[in-house]
Amino acid sequence: MPVPSSRRPALPAPAPEALAQSQALADAIVAAIRAAGGWIGFDDFMQRALYTPGLGYYTGGSHKFGRLAADGSDFVTAPELSPLYGRTLATPVRAVLKAADSRAVMEFGAGSGALAAELLNALGDDCAEYLIVEVSAELRARQRETVERRAPAHAHKLVWLDALPDRFSGCIVGNEVLDAMPVKLVLWDGEGWRERGVTIGASGFEWEDRPLTAGASAGDAARAEAGDASRTLAPHAADTLALIDASIGASLAEQDGLDWPATPAAERLALYADCLPAPYLTELCPAAEAFAATLARLLDRGAAILIDYGFPAAEFFHPQRAQGTLMCHYRHHAHDDPFFLPGLQDITAHVNFTAVALAAIDAGATHAGYAPQNRFLLDAGIADHIAAAGEPRSAAYLRAASEAHKLLDEHEMGELFKVIAFAHGIDGAIPGFASGDRSHTL
């Protein structure tokens, strides 16, 4: 069933060489769609748009991170916004290192290197080795340049990993990593669940929905061929979409006379679908869950601290969120057309933190906290860093206060961004969750 694509937004035109690169990626995706029989799941499209070697958004050398569209960037992250972010995050990182009896930090997706530089400066001798997992050669070079410029005394501690170790003791950090993982789009049409995928139409890429049980996507097939025990999409959807708020479950159970916890996931999904408007579009992210499970199994002694925008399952799958959370970023403009200039724009989706937490727990980790970014940073001591910026009403102090406002304000990053942590082999609380922990909402 074809679905009309989004109206293409009026956005700044790219340079001719960038446009040629985007066209080369589009041609490669078209070839992949034809090779797959004319249709691929959206997760496959997103994977190719972001990570095709040499052409994808994160592998093709575009600028990405920055404050202004004029510098060629597409969005700003908290570490680029203010050094207060990294300095404050150093407090929980140091506590984890002490508990793990380790001096090793591992960062996934280190972006411009701004967070690495601030953490290295703040941790000092408490960090002897800073490992970075980064797929982009261009970003690796930028990370090295940033650290050599902003933390020259610690640049020798940087190590880029091409493969993960079998086990790791220390602190793992990841800022805005989960939202860039490919998502599956699923649609409730009033009669059943369908998977939204991508096909080729007269004017380019087009949406097409297929029954959810029509078969595994190319991504599922690749995982199965590799021997991965990942679940196929249909049972995964049933399990994930059934993670709804307990009050909704209790209400449905009372209405239908059910023992809600004992009700099979597929039946709970069907009951929940009755509460949804039609059409209802949402995302599933097996990749984010697999990532959390991988980190949980990787940890020998230590913890992982992940920061991103998203919701617990009850909010993520709220009936009013009928269009999902998929969003694209290009030159500091946000829009909802993932087919626009593939390879030149970021494609993201909000994180289902309930699914991430359960995946980590299922893989053997201990849940260590979940809080909005503002409460986490306040608990971790950001106020002390603001005060240390300079005398009140001085230019340095006012600049720090302005930056902190953007990190903390509930209408900026403070409430939408969340911090989740899980640990293995260590004791003691992680600073940042003392007063604002919302684990009960997961």
> What domains can you pick out in the chain, each with its CATH number?
75-180+290-314+351-441 (3.40.50.12710)
Beta bridge partners of residue 309, listed in sequence order: 417
Burial class (CB in 10 A: 0-12, 13-18, 19+), 144: middle
For residue range 72-125, list pLDDT tens digits in order. Answer: 555 578 998 999 999 999 999 999 999 999 999 999 999 999 999 999 999 999
Do residues 121 and 89 touch, judged by C-beta distance below 8 A? no
pLDDT at 271: 63
Token pair of 307, please? 């920061």
End-to-end CA distance of the chain: 35
Burial class (CB in 10 A: 0-12, 13-18, 19+), 185: buried
- Three-state secondary-structure class, residue 310: strand
Of 343 and 246, the structure prediction assigns the larger pLDDT to 343
Q: What is the pTM of this model?
A: 0.86
Kindly report the backbone phi and psi dihedral angles of residue 150, in degrees, each rounded to the nearest multiple of 5, phi listed first.
-100, -20
Angle at Cα 187 formed by Cα 185 and Cα 193, nearest 5°?
A: 115
Q: Above pLDDT 70, what percent of the chain?
A: 81
Alpha helices in 106-264 (DSSP H): 114-123, 137-150, 218-225, 233-241, 246-256
Q: Grade residue 134 by pLDDT with cuts at 50, 70 and 90.
A: very high
Residue 407 has pLDDT above 60, yes or no: yes
Q: Grade residue 269 by pLDDT with cuts at 50, 70 and 90.
A: low
Mean pLDDT computed over every residue of the chain: 85
- Concatenate the DSSP letters of all residues of 40-97 into one string: EEHHHHHHHHHHSTTTSTTTS---EE-S-GGGTEEE--HHHH-HHHHHHHHHHHHHHH
pLDDT at 68: 45
- Reported as type and span, the H/E element at residue 124 is none
The span from the CA of 254 to the CA of 252, in Å, is 5
